[in-house]
Each structure stands twice: as structure tokens, then as C-alpha cells.
Structure 1
């Protein structure tokens, strides 16, 4: 070890705070300057700088004893345990999260990494209830962790792991920007028909380039809109069923009690759960894999890379492009683009048409859309030349997103391999630093 390490109870590392929720019946408690952090906000980011909900000054006053300063380290302790994050500004959490406001001898970022390893301890500390795991404030406070006495060593360890997380976060932010650009391009061309309107209104002249409208594309677009069953659409464009644009298939689950379908499997088998944690619509891996025998149980077989996946129930709407060949379970609409159709067009159409897709779903327990109900959904289909131009403009954006996601997966695997060894003092900081420098990461 680089220095002395000691076991300490979490409660001795700082003040432990369990969050609360102000009454939701009074809307004046919400919508203000204070982040109100719940489990969905603990989405893999280290620094929680944005949240789904906020509290007003009134709501903050009600929960003033639960106020967390910047640098507080949070962990979910009810239902889903072990999700972590660090506050970046004065914030509040709900009752599912325990937080530590660290003492001066404890580094926030180091403590965050310690907490990410506490999933097993939290499970074993839970109440054992049949409905959900519940780690109380007192049980949480009594969990023992191993930490270096030297604050400098804590910071050095946190710096090594943080270097990897910072690069992952940078990739995520860049990819989100690229994805927003791709969505905006789709909306402009295929929802708002902006190129056509720009020509109609004289805002786009031959030889002129506009944002998202290079000059060489001028002749691809008409200069008038015509009536259709879906309202006004560009002249020469068609209304088609999605089933004409893509081959729509579903999947199934091989019997889970048949070991020969699962053990040693090499084929990616995807469920909606695999898409639920994605921040970007790129699927690189799946939690479970199946064998040749398992694959033979699924009528749609192995779908090719580039297939667009849409969850069809509980909930409807998770979306991704499979960047590996996959088999799917029964919770999907899988779209294989037909000749001349871009899978990026299908991806962004499915996102833009979410409400329309939902309107064709049914079910008493939960909404589900069947393949038969999905295939007839109508959409505006551009001519092949416009489809090709769109793909050529949007494809580089998507490829960069995929590259970023692949790099982030590699970085996360490296971080996860180093993390337990570093925070238990099993490898020296200098050795870890040298390891990262050899890979150009530190």
C-alpha cells in the first residue's frame, strides 16, 4: 500500500442526510432554482448538474434540514440500490437517497468511487422485504469502508478514476450534441419541410447554401406543397405505410430452463432492459447471449447490424440501432430497412412519430403495439434522391456517436477494472498512473 488505510463507518465520514419529498399536492413546492434529485437522475454521471424536477423557494424551506451543499455524495438506498452521484450546487433529494456531506478529511470524488462498489453491501444491509430493498439511514451509516488516511492519496486515486470518467462524460456531451443536430436535420426536412418552404418563400436561391441545406441539394426539393391524407406534403413525395419502408419483425424468448439455449451463448439477445439505460440510440452489447440452439427458437433469427429496434411494450418507445447482429425478444418491433431506405430515417421517424405509434397501441394491463398494428402506420416518404442526401448528411454524425460510444465502453471497462483494486489499496497509485500514461489517458 502507498500509505495507511483504515476501516471507517460511513457515518464517521461526514453528516448523513436522508432526503424527503414535499407534498406533491401543492404545485408551488416545485419549479424553482433547487435541483430535486431522484433515482432516475443518478444515471451514470458523476456530477449531477441537471435534474428532471426542481424545488421552489417554498419547497426548499420545507426541506431546509435536508439541504445538500455542492460536493455531497449521494447513493440510492430504496428499491434500486447503489446508484451514485455528487451534487454540484445546493440541492435536495427524495427519501430514496442517502447522502454524505463529507468531513474535511474525506475527498468527495474518492467517496463517490467507494460508494459505487457498495451495491453488495447495501443489498445485504437491506430490510429483506419482499417488495423492495430498503437500507435505512442507520444501517447505511454503519456500513464500514476502507479508505486511506492521507487525503492526498484519496485525491490521487480519485484523479485517476476521474480522468476516465471525465473522458466518458466528454464523449457523452459531444454525442448528445451530434444527436441533437441529427434530430434537428430530420425535423427540418421531413416534419417542417423547411427546404421546400425556403424555396417557396424565396429564402433559398439556386447556388446559395443555408444551414443544413448545401447549395448542391437545391434541385432535389420541389417549390410547392400539395394536399395529401396527412396534410400538406412536398410535391412528388408520397404517403406510405411504415411496412413499405422496412421489414417489420418481432422475436421471442427461448425457454430459460433449457441450459442448452443459454450456457456458452455467443449471439446477442436483446430485451427492452438493454435499451432502458442507453443515453444514446446505439446498442453495442446485451446483458444475455444465446447459443445456436437458442437462436433456432426465434423465428426472426439473427437480425443484421443496422436494424432499428423499437420497444413495443412496457414501455413503448425505447429506440436504438443495433451495432452488432442481434436476436430480439417479444418486446420489440424490429425494422430492417428496405432497399433505398436509411436506417437513420427510420430511427428519427420513430422518435418523431412516438405519439402516433402510441395511438395504435392497446392493452388492459399495459399498452402494447403489435406488428400488425404497426405496419400500416402512415408516413411521408421522400424520393430516393432525397433519402440518399439525408443519409449522406446525417451518417457522419451517427458514425461519430458510435465511435464515441465504443471508446466510452472501453474506458468504462478499464475504470471498472481499476476501481476496486485502487479503492482497496491493492495497486499503487503510481502503477495505475503509469498504466494510463502508456495508453495516452493520463
Structure 2
């Protein structure tokens, strides 16, 4: 039975369902024409967000000569193939690929509220998908979805209180991007002092992570750092850590203040391979272990870890890693090639000066990242309770006000 004031409704009665399409790739005039086109990478990289830009664009010719359609602002997009259950909202008119079922909301359901429902029910939605190699949510099943909703006024109130947390997280994201740009500018200035190149193996030791079985992922005071820990903005998320009780053989696989490099990508999303982040100890786990999908990079004595991170976060390094990756189903970076990468040679004194300069940027970035993590955890907790009706908006507002003061 729904909570008082809530009722079950067929989603197709509240919102118009739209499909997407991919214009012909063999016609270059159909692409790069200024119309945002939502693909799977846009959804997986921006789950739960309002998006204004996409990785690819189509042209009006591409729209006119395909089944793709430009959908209005506030259309809610749900991924239905491969990575099923990811949700984004259009911040302006866009088209999508056929990998989405799209909902143009009517007056009885708020787009933001529908986004929150789909986020809460992500795992349930995945249960309606079928397929052996790639899971797919088919349109008849999507059209049969039902949602339990309160009045539109209450929907807007829920969206407002959760949106205030998301606004703060978005603001923090902007601060992190500014810090990242400042750090990269500092490193670019340092490169002007370069006197040549040396193999990366002369600057650091590379250690592969450890493999694990599902039985290893049990309650433990040791955590495993996985690919899911690595975020697109150059940080790592503790939400991606998994409890790990397996045998990590030696302390070489332990990470604390070390840099890890993404070695594997199960989705063949080339921008994952070669992504490097620095991992610090977790409040939840006493030790952290790198998974086999990661390579631990430890500077040799005297080389600042901040300098190594600067080297590994250059676009040139990412391209090198992508060029030295292979695989038909899974992209895999050849670890032996990492040591041959040509890194710039910098006077040790200059390295230490650079490290001291950016260390404060890292500390500030870590603090912002931790705050965003707390906000995200609170958002997710309130999200479940508000959508289910177990918590009233006023109670949620009080909790939000306490953390945003």
C-alpha cells in the first residue's frame, strides 16, 4: 500500500515516451553540427545530473535524415542497453542514441522527481532487462513501468530540498576543476625548465594490483581500490572501495598516498585507461589494496609524489597509454610499456619547489572532495526516504540546513 498522499500511476500516462537514434556514421555531414546528442558515456559519466553538453553532436541534416529527434529541455533520459539504469536530464534541447528511453514529462510529474524515482529504482529497472551478452530494457517493458507519486506540489518540494544538496556538490565540482586547472598551469610552467627526457622507470616503481574472488569481498578492515574508485575529475571516491579479506601477498599492493593508474577497461571506454589518481587512507578501512585493474606507481627515493602525479596526469601520457592498449572485448594496458614512457627531466630542486606549491592545492581538493562525499551520502539517504514517503520534506530540510550552514 502506498503512503498517504501517494498513488500508483502508469508512467506512460504521466510522460510521453520517446526513443532515440544514431544518424549514419558514414555521413560526416550528419555530425558535429551543434545539436547535443546523448550517448551512453554521457549517461554513465553524469548519472543523476542535468547535462548541458555532450561528448558528440549531430547536425540538422543528421536529424532530418534519420529517426533521431530533438527533444525538449527537461526530458528525462534512461539508458536501456549495455549500462542499463543510468539517468540524466536534458538541460537544453538534445537528441539521444537508441540506447535510451526518453520521457517528456507532463504537468502531473516533475522531471527532477522522475529522475529521483529512476535513481532509487535503478536496480529494480535492471531486473526488467534481458540478454546474455548485453542487457537491454525493451520498449514494451519501459512503457509498462509504474511510479508511486505524491501531488505535484510535494514533488517540487522534494526536488527543491534534494536539489540544494546537488547545487552545493556542483559548486564543489567547479572548485575542483579550478584547482585542477591551476595545478596543470603550475606543471606547464615547470615543463619550461625541462632539460630532456628519461624513461618513467627511472623515476618510479610499478607494481600490479592483486586479483580477487567474490569470496574475498566480505566484511573486512581492509578495502580494495577498484576502477570504480577513479573519477573523471582526477580524484577517487571512497564509494568505489570494496571490503577485501583476500591475500594481498605483500605490502607492495597496499596503497596510502600512492598513485594508481587504470590499466584495464571493461567497457572499452578509452578515456579510462591511463587515468591516474592519488589514493589516501580511508576512515572506514585500516588498509587499502589495489585491484588487478590498477597499477601502483611509487616514486623512487627523492622524487616527490606530486611531481609524479603531474607527469601522469598529462594528456600526452593518457594518449601514450591508449596507444599501448589492446583487446577485443576488454582494453588492457601493457604494463611493460609504462616504464618506457619518456618523462621530462627536471632539476630535483625544481621538483621539490613544485611539490611544495601544489601540496596545498591537493589538501584543499581533498577537503572539498570529502565534503562532496558527505553531501552525496546525505542526498542518497534522504532520496530513498523522501521518494518512499517515509520522511516528510520539513524533516529533510532541517538536515540539509544543518550541513549547508
Contact 2:80-2:100 within 8 A present in 1 as well: yes
Q: Name which of 390, 395, 404 aligns with 1:431.
A: 395
Instruction: Give the TM-score of the pair, scaled to structure 1.
Output: 0.81
Q: TM-score, normalised by structure 2?
A: 0.88
Q: Distance in 2 between matches of 1:393 and 1:432?
A: 41
Please report how far the alpha carbon of residue 19 of structure 1 lies from its aligned counterpart in structure 2 after TM superposition.
0.8
Q: Distance in 2 between matches of 1:367 and 1:343?
A: 27
Counterparts in 2 of 1:158 and 1:370: CA distance versus 1, 3 Å: same
Cα separation, 2, equivalents of 1:367 and 1:427:
44
Q: Does 1:76 align with 2:34?
A: no
Measured in 1, the distance between the counterparts of 2:169 and 2:297 equals: 30
Please name the residue that 2:284 is paired with.
none
CA distance in structure 2 between the aligned counterparts of 1:372 and 1:171, rounded to whole angstroms: 37
2:382 alignment partner, one of 407, 414, 418 = 418
1: CA distance, partners of 2:361 / 2:182: 8
| 2:143 equivalent to 1:141 | yes
Which residue of structure 2 aligns with residue 123 of structure 1?
A: 126
Q: Answer yes or no: is 1:297 the counterpart of 2:297.
A: no
1:245 has 2:203 as partner: yes
- 1:170-185 matches, within 5 Å, as 170-185=171-186
- How far apart, in 1, do the equivalents of 2:327 and 2:101 lie? 38
Secondary structure of the structure 2 residue equivalent to 1:36: strand
Alignment of 1:195-274 (within 5 A): 233-234=194-195, 239-254=197-212, 256=213, 259=215, 261-274=216-229
Aligned twin of 1:306: 257
In structure 1, what is the Cα distance between the partners aligned to 2:75 and 2:182?
34
Aligned to 1:319: 276
Counterpart residue number, 2:236: 283
Q: Cα deviations across residues 224-274 of structure 1 (Å, max 9, x unaligned)? A: xxxxxxxxx54xxx64332232222122214x26x4x44322212123343
How big is each residue's C-alpha offset from its partner over 1:413-439, in whole Å with a ceiling of 9 and x where there is no partner?
A: 111111111012111111111222233
Q: Matched residues in 1 for 2:217 and 2:3: separation?
A: 44
User: Which of 360, 365, 368 is equivalent to 1:401?
Assistant: 365
CA contact (8 A) 1:28 1:58 kept: yes
Shift of 1:366: 6.0
Q: Is the 8 A contact 1:69 1:89 kept in 2?
A: yes
1:347 aligns with 2:309: yes
Instruction: Determine helix, strand or coil for the equivalent of 1:125.
Output: coil
Distance 1:379 1:113 in 2: 45
User: Equivalents in 1 of 2:117, 2:328: separation in Å?
Assistant: 44
What is the aligned counterpart of 2:65 among 49, 62, 65? 62
Q: CA offsets, 1:33-91, max 9 Å, x none?
A: 21100121122352111100011111122357732101111111112111111111111
Of 353, 356, 377, 1:392 maps to 356
Separation of aligned partners in 2, 1:117 and 1:437: 23
1:178-222 deviations in Å (ceiling 9; x for gaps): 1122123212321xx1xx5xxxxxxxxxxxxxxxxxxxxxxxxxx
How far off is 1:119 after superposition? 1.6
Residue segments in structure 1 that go unaligned for 5+ positions in a row: 197-232
CA RMSD of superposed structures (Å): 2.5
